[in-house]
Amino acid sequence: MLEKSKNLILNFIGILFIILGIGAIINTIYQKELGLAPIFWICYVSMILIGLGVLTKNYLLLLSQLNILAIPLIFWNIDFFYILLIGKSLFGVADYFFIPEPLIGKIITTQHIFTIPLSIYALYLIKIKENFAWAISFFEVSVIFFITRAISSPEQNINCVFSSCMNFNAPYYPLAWFFVFFIIIFITNFILTRINFLKM
C-alpha cells in the first residue's frame, strides 16, 4: 500500500476515534444528573487513546487498548446482536442500548461494533514491533479501577468496579475484577502478538 494512502486511512481512523471519545465525554457532561464519574468509562478513555495511538503510529498505545477492550467488546457484540435477533438479553451488558435515550448516545455506543475491526486494521498498517503492551494495559486498568472507585458510586457502577455488569457476580469482587482483567489482557496480547500479518 502506498505510504500516502496508508497515512490517509490512519488519519481518518485516528480522528474518528478521537471525535467519538470526546463526543462521549461531552455527552456525559451534558447529562448533569450523571455527574462526572461516567467520563471515566474505559471505552471513552480508550477511544481517545486509540485515536492518539493511530495518529502517532504508536503501536504500543494502540495494542494496549485492544488488550483491554477486545474481549469485553466481543461479549458486548454477542449480547447486542442476540437481543437484536432473539429479543432477549444474553449477558445483560447491552440492554441499555435498547432503552429509550437521546440519539447521540446511541450513535456513540455503536463504536462497540466497529472498534475491534478498525483497530486491528490500523495495527496491521502500523505493525507490532515489541511485545510489552500488556504492561501498559495492566497499569492503565489499575489506575482506572482506583479512580473510578474513588469518584463513583455502586449505583453508577462505572467500569463494573463495584459489581459485575453481567448476569453473575463473584466473592471478593475487587480481586475478581483484577483477575478477570489481567486474564483478558494476557490472552488478547498473547493472540495479537502472534498474528503474523500484524507483526513487523
In 25-63, which positions are buried (b, 16+ CB within 10 angstroms) versus exposed (e)?
A: bebbeeeeeeeebbbbbbbbbbbbbbbbbbbebebbbbb
pLDDT (tens digit, 9 = 90+) per residue, 30-72? 876 667 778 889 999 999 999 999 999 999 999 999 999 999 9
Domain that holds residue 165: 3-198
Please give the pLDDT value at position 92.
85
pLDDT at 15: 97
- Write the pLDDT tens digit of every residue in 155-166: 888 999 998 887
What are 193's three cell numbers?
Answer: 502478538
Q: Supply the pLDDT for residue 99.
A: 87
Query: What average pLDDT is seen over the chain?
Result: 91
- Which three three-digit cell numbers place residue 141? 486498568
Q: What is the pLDDT of residue 60?
A: 96
Quote the number of domains for the chain: 1
User: If you ran DSSP here, which 8-state letter would residue 132 be given?
Assistant: -
Q: Are 48 and 15 in contact (CB under 8 A)?
A: no
**Statement: residue 102 has pLDDT above 90:** no
Q: What is the pLDDT of residue 101?
A: 79
CA atoms of 105 and 159, how far apart (whole Å): 17
Q: Which residues, including other chains, have CB under 8 Å from residue 54's CB and lie 6 or more apart?
A: 10, 13, 14, 17, 62, 119, 122, 126
Q: Is 128 helix (H, G, I), strand (E, B) or coil?
A: strand
Q: What pLDDT is recorded for position 172?
A: 87
Q: What percent of the chain has pLDDT over 70?
A: 97
pLDDT digits (tens, 9 = 90+) for 127-165: 999 889 999 999 999 999 999 999 988 888 899 999 888
Question: Which pLDDT score, from 0 to 100, does residue 108 have?
Answer: 87
CA 156 to chain CA centroid, nearest Å:
18
Query: Is the model's pLDDT at 10 over the cut of 70?
Result: yes
Q: How far is it, in rounded angstroms, from Cα 109 to Cα 20?
A: 9
Residue 47 pLDDT = 96
Confidence of residue 195 (pLDDT cuts 50, 70, 90): very high
State the sign of the Cα–Cα–Cα–Cα dihedral 138, 12, 81, 152: positive
Per-residue pLDDT at 170 exceeds 90: no
